[in-house]
Amino acid sequence: MHLEELDLRNFRSWETFDVHFSSTSSLILGSNGTGKSNILEAICLLATSRSFRNALDQKMVQWGKDGYLVKGIFFLESGRQDIAIEYSGGNKTLLINGVQERRISSIIGIVYCVLFSFEDIYLIVGSPSVRRSFLDLILCSVDSLYLRNLRTYVNVIRQKNRYLKETFEIDQNLLSAWNEQLIPTGAYLIQKRTSLIDFINSYVEYAVNSLGEKLIFPFRLSYRTNVTPGDDHEGALRRTLEEKMEKELQFKTSLVGPHRDDFRYSDGKYEIRHFGSVGEARLASILLKLAQGEFYRETRGVVPILLIDDILLELDMENMEKVLSLFMAGGQRIITTTERRKLPEIFSFDQVFKVEKRGEASALQ
């Protein structure tokens, strides 16, 4: 799987950007603020339908323009795929091989990429919603049933919360009916998330052993749920919803379910976010993203496109090389950095682009 060509029109800092990438490794050089990260954002948009910065579509339109176009030509095992997303007049359109799709979410599961960016550290130190989104993105990419259950669950939670907030005399039969919709969908989400956590833990154990404890202390992820443990996820969720119904009426919001779950990282005693250094938090976030790539390889049989946005420069050269040894071979890598000399010599590139100034790029080799 690789990206052959990327075409941008009025996207962020780029009025036009049309390049062919190497199928193996490409480097994008440029000073800070020249738009390197915008290129990676566009690629992620073609894989997930959304900005990794959680930006609204209108915020990704170049200043003074009416809309944007992001188009990519990908070569997969199944053949060539042309994917284009156009935003104009408040409407977002997805075309796959020239055919317009009804749902933007149809894009999910076609192209697999893993982005390593500065924002990844919030997987460690950020809010629970960041971590939930990380799990949901991975699982939606490989499991269409998970995507459907997540969509249904979110819609029901919104209806339930609106009713709790705006209604003075609550009909408990109506609340029970909503809960009955939440139970099978929510249980499925919890089951798949905990299975993914188990997979990540097996990868992290391997990676920590490879890196050595001097680089990062051993840690495991644990899924944190407010659902009382039980023999099965559906039964446990049903029982907890019944137990917490009075509190939900009191606080006028839904208090139970995977929309409030989280996961944490600890060595059994200490959590990285409270006791680890910034460097350890950064390494932990990198290991999570490497586990994401390995999960795609094992579940879908693909080596994802790796997009690396200048994050390795926070490590010294020796530790950078150790981390790079964990990156899976055989796939496409697109890397941004401010200076080539800051990367290890073991990192070779078939193609190098130079962003001379904001919105302008040229090929060096």
Could you read off the pLDDT of 205-245 as tens digits, one per residue?
Answer: 888 888 776 666 678 899 999 888 766 899 999 999 999 99
Of 256, 281, 300, the domain-final residue: 300
253/361 same-domain check: no
Q: Is there a contact between 297 and 305 (Cβ–Cβ < 8 Å)?
A: no
**What is the rounded end-to-end Cα distance, in angstroms, of the chain?**
22
User: Angle 279-284-285 (CA atoms, 0-180°, nearest 5)?
Assistant: 100
pLDDT score for 327: 79
Residue with structure tokens 């080596």?
303
Reported as half-sphere exposure (CB side, CA atoms, 13 A), residue 130 has a value of 14
Give dist(CA 102, CA 112) in Å, integer: 21
174/275 same-domain check: yes
pLDDT score for 228: 80
pLDDT score for 209: 83
Confidence (pTM): 0.91
pLDDT score for 238: 93
Residue with structure tokens 């933007």?
104
The tally of domains found in the chain comes to 2
Q: Is there a contact between 3 and 17 (Cβ–Cβ < 8 Å)?
A: no
- E-strand spans in 42-139? 67-76, 79-88, 91-96, 99-100, 113-116
Q: What is the pLDDT of residues 110-143, one digit of tens each?
A: 999 999 998 899 999 999 999 999 999 999 999 9
pLDDT score for 149: 97
User: How large is the average pLDDT for residues 276-302?
Assistant: 90
User: Angle 173-186-130 (CA atoms, 0-180°, nearest 5)?
Assistant: 125
Give dist(CA 83, CA 234) in Å, integer: 38
354/364 same-domain check: yes
CATH number of the domain that residue 332 is part of: 3.40.50.300
Question: Percent of the chain having pLDDT more than 90?
Answer: 60
147/256 same-domain check: yes
Q: What is the pLDDT of residues 20-33, one digit of tens each?
A: 999 998 999 888 88
Residue 161 resides in a domain: yes
Residue 285 resides in a domain: yes
CATH number of the domain that residue 233 is part of: 1.20.1050.90
Contacts of 75 (CB under 8 A, 6+ apart): 1, 2, 4, 23, 81
Residue 74: beta bridge partners?
A: 3, 81
pLDDT score for 82: 96
Give dist(CA 352, CA 269) in Å, integer: 45
265/293 same-domain check: yes
Q: What is the pLDDT of residues 216-225, one digit of tens each?
A: 667 889 999 9
Coil, helix or strand for 21? Answer: coil
167/49 same-domain check: no
Of 259, 283, 300, the domain-final residue: 300
Residue 96, class by beta-carbon neighbours within 10 Å (0-12 exposed, 13-18 middle, 19+ buried)? middle
Write out the residue range of the structural domain in which residue 360 sits: 1-112+302-365
Of 280, 300, 320, the domain-final residue: 300
